[in-house]
Every structure is written in structure tokens, then in C-alpha cells.
Structure 1
């Protein structure tokens, strides 16, 4: 899988991996469908950062979730 290629499939994969790494309990809170490709690069950066770290602190988890919330699709 080449994550440098922007696609819905890659975006969904990264969101699912981010949720797994953060051990998100409420998986409905971060749904891959809730994100748009226009924020692909930002989400890719978060994904790469998490893959470089062996552990993530509670404070980092909170910051990442807050950052992800900025990238959600606007409700109409």
C-alpha cells in the first residue's frame, strides 16, 4: 500500500491505524467516513508521527484527537 497516493482507501486505512494506535475506546467517535481527502496530508503526518513513536502519552492522545477533530467534514 502506497500511502503517498491520496485515495479514500488510504485515508480510511490511516484513520483506522490511528484509532488502533491511540487505543480509542469509542470507535464511533472517529469514523473514517467523517474525513475528507482535502486533509490527507495532515492526517498522513499524524499517521507517520504515531508510527515513529513506541508509546503515546495521554496528553499526546488528547492533542491528536483534538487535531483530528479539526479535519472532520462539516455537517450540512
Structure 2
């Protein structure tokens, strides 16, 4: 998938990939529709961090989920 373009489809793909990789129990609360195109670069940055690692510590997961939550709350 080409993530160079800020689209709703790309945001949806990245949010779903983040939720899957982090095994988020509350993943249902993090829907891609909760994020705006203006946040694309921030979401992509988080996606790239998550995609680059195979394992995460509990504190890393908490920090990443917190960042997603902050982006979600800006809506």
C-alpha cells in the first residue's frame, strides 16, 4: 500500500495495523473515523514506529496508545 498520500483509506489501514500489532483490547474504541486527514503525518509516524518493531514492552504500548488517544481527542 502506498502511504505517501493522505487519504481516509490510508488512515484506516494504518489505524487497523496499529491496533492489530499492539493487540489493543479496546481497539473497537479506536476507529479510523475518529481521526482527521490533518493528522495524517502524526498517524503515519506512529504507524512506522509500530511497524518497525516486533515486540513492545508494556510501557511502550501504553505510550503509543496514549499518543493515539491524544490524536483522537483533538477532533
TM-score by length of 1: 0.90
Q: Measure how far apart 1:32 and its partner are.
A: 1.0
Counterparts of 1:48 and 1:55, CA distance in 2: 14
Counterparts of 2:54 and 2:28, CA distance in 1: 25
1:44 aligns with 2:40: no
For structure 2, list consecutive stretches of 5 or more residues without a partner in the other structure: none
For structure 1, list consecutive stretches of 5 or more residues without a partner in the other structure: none
How many residue pairs get aligned? The number is 74
Partner of 1:29: 29
Larger helix proportion, structure 1 or 2? 2
Question: Which deviates further from its counterpart, 7-16 or 50-59?
Answer: 50-59
Cα RMSD for the two superposed structures: 1.0
Pairing 1:36-75 to 2, within 5 Å after superposition: 36-72=36-72, 73-74=74-75
Q: Measure how far apart 1:69 and its partner are.
A: 1.1
